[in-house]
Amino acid sequence: MKAVQFTEYGGPEVLRVVDIEPPRPGPGEVRIAVRATGVNPSDWKRRVGLYRDVDPVAFPAGVGVEASGIVDDVGPGVSNVAVGEAVFGMGRGTVAEQAILTNWVRKPDAMSFAVAGGLSVIVETALRSLGDLGVERGQTLLVSGASGGIGSAVVQIARSRGIAVVGTAGERNQDYLRDLGATPTTYGPGLKERVHVLAPQGIDAALDVAGSGILPELIDIVGAASRVVSVADFSASHYGARFSAGPPREPDRVLTEAVRLWAGGHLRVNIDRLFPFARTAEAHEVSARGHVAGKLVITVP
């Protein structure tokens, strides 16, 4: 089968489409014929080597941690899904023609493979970070970097829980955030003053999704480092804030909740761009530049 791999840390040019043997599912795992797989900032950050101190890569390394597709093999002990069923979930080396999923859920018939392929990580990260923040109905949350896949999910899930959201994004994504239910503002100098005008009652908690060095400013806006969480800045603890990291907590529950949120109309996935399998390097470049409205997704023939 064909898969995207890299054999050294570096820029997008280290990604190669290679021919390898199909993986075999282990106990409690399934293999799928991949239809779509999401692009996440963690993909290119891992490729660059930003995680090498906490999660070193064993080369050659695959790319991707989520996907949708059709089950074509099941490992020992798997009884809740059969070959031929459509599923989505989390796994490893998912930018490939076939990939292993370690956690999965059946894909609703009305959900496209593209949406399903980009749903798992954003919902898991959104639920985890909102839980870490402890924000409740009636409170106000500030989300820095709100227009990307994770930010979009956080905004929508928070709004479904009765939490007001102020979100930062570039000029071109202001209407997009407004459509999701957030009160939008731009990032950059003067953020504290703009947020005060938009939320004069104050901000109860802040979430850093972009990892753009904004933690000191978020802490100043909120008034307490204990009420600031980052999913992108490893230096969070240096400022007294918290860094929210995986591995996924209760992944099966998360995937079931993802289906519930989507089916109930509480969460939509805006696919900013679709990339064919052979253009994975370009997808990484676009992700690294930021300014994405929603999710980038790679389709597999």
- What's the pLDDT tens digit per position in 74-131? 999 999 999 999 999 999 999 999 999 999 999 999 999 999 999 999 999 999 999 9
Over residues 119-131, the pLDDT tens digits come to 999 999 999 999 9
Around 199, how many Cα atoms within 13 Å sit in the side-chain half-sphere?
25
pLDDT at 54 over 90: no
Strand ranges inside 75-192, DSSP E: 86-92, 98-106, 140-144, 164-168, 183-185
The mean pLDDT value for 237-245 works out to: 96
pLDDT at 221 over 90: yes
Burial class (CB in 10 A: 0-12, 13-18, 19+), 293: buried
Around 89, how many Cα atoms within 13 Å sit in the side-chain half-sphere?
28
Q: For the chain, give percent helix, strand, coil, nearest 5.
A: 35, 25, 40
Single out the residue of 145, 149, 103 nearest to residue 267, CA to CA: 149
pLDDT of residue 117: 98
pLDDT at 301 over 90: no
Single out the residue of 178, 124, 122 nearest to residue 150, CA to CA: 122
pLDDT of residue 276: 97
Interatomic CA distance for residues 288 and 92, integer angstroms = 21
Single out the residue of 35, 40, 42 nearest to residue 112, CA to CA: 35
Interatomic CA distance for residues 140 and 152, integer angstroms = 16
Around 170, how many Cα atoms within 13 Å sit in the side-chain half-sphere?
8
CA distances for 168 relative to 87, 184, 198, angstroms: 33, 6, 12
Around 12, how many Cα atoms within 13 Å sit in the side-chain half-sphere?
13
